[in-house]
Amino acid sequence: MSTDCLFCKIVRGDIPCAKVYEDENFLAFLDIGPIIKGHTLVIPREHYASLPETPAPLLADMMSVVQRIAGAQMNALKADGINIVQNNGRAAGQLVDHIHFHIIPRFTTDGHKWNWAAKSYDSPAEMQSMADQISARCS
């Protein structure tokens, strides 16, 4: 538990939230600034800053909660689709340093567009080199 972490304050009840789901280890509540209405955040009660620091078993359990919320959004809101977003570090847009997943309901008519500008590799060799660098640290 971190004293000045915003999401720890929500876990403690020091800051109110629109709660969607809770259990022993996790809490889900509406994002105060929804990309689409119903946009929900899933957090562990315990404080971990981001994905690399979070113990794998806790992360595995967290994915079950993410799946549960996604299913509930599909059923309750009649969503046509769901985006899952998870930011790590300022460069990736993380503003609150308490690991969280964004579960965002999507509708064919919602008008939202991700700024997903696909780029390309200079050559197949550069692409393979990138794969090799990451692969070497996977185990």
What backbone torsions phi and psi does residue 75 show, to the nearest 5 degrees?
Answer: -75, -50
> What is the residue whose two structure tokens read 């800051």?
15
Tell me if 2 contacts Zn ion by CB under 5 A.
yes
Stretch that binds Zn ion, among 7-15, 23-31, 54-62, 127-135 (CB under 5 A): 7-15
Query: Pick from 73, 98, 99, 103: which binds Zn ion (CB under 5 A)?
Result: 98
Choose among 104, 2, 103, 102: nearest CA to 49. Answer: 2
Residue 96 identity:
V
> Is the Cβ–Cβ distance between 19 and 28 less than 8 Å?
yes
Reduced to 3 states (helix: H, G, I; strand: E, B; else coil), residue 33 is coil
Q: Which does 98 bind (CB under 5 to 8 A by kind): Zn ion, ligand 5GP, none?
A: Zn ion
Stretch that binds ligand 5GP, among 24-32, 103-111, 112-120, 130-138 (CB under 6 A): 24-32
Work out the burial of residue 112: count CB atoms within 10 Å of its CB; fewer than 13 is exposed, 13-18 middle, 19 or more buried. exposed
Q: Which does 93 bind (CB under 5 to 8 A by kind): ligand 5GP, Zn ion, none?
A: ligand 5GP
Residues carrying an active site annotation: 100
Tell me if 17 contacts ligand 5GP by CB under 6 A.
yes
Stretch that binds ligand 5GP, among 44-52, 64-72, 87-95, 121-129 (CB under 6 A): 87-95
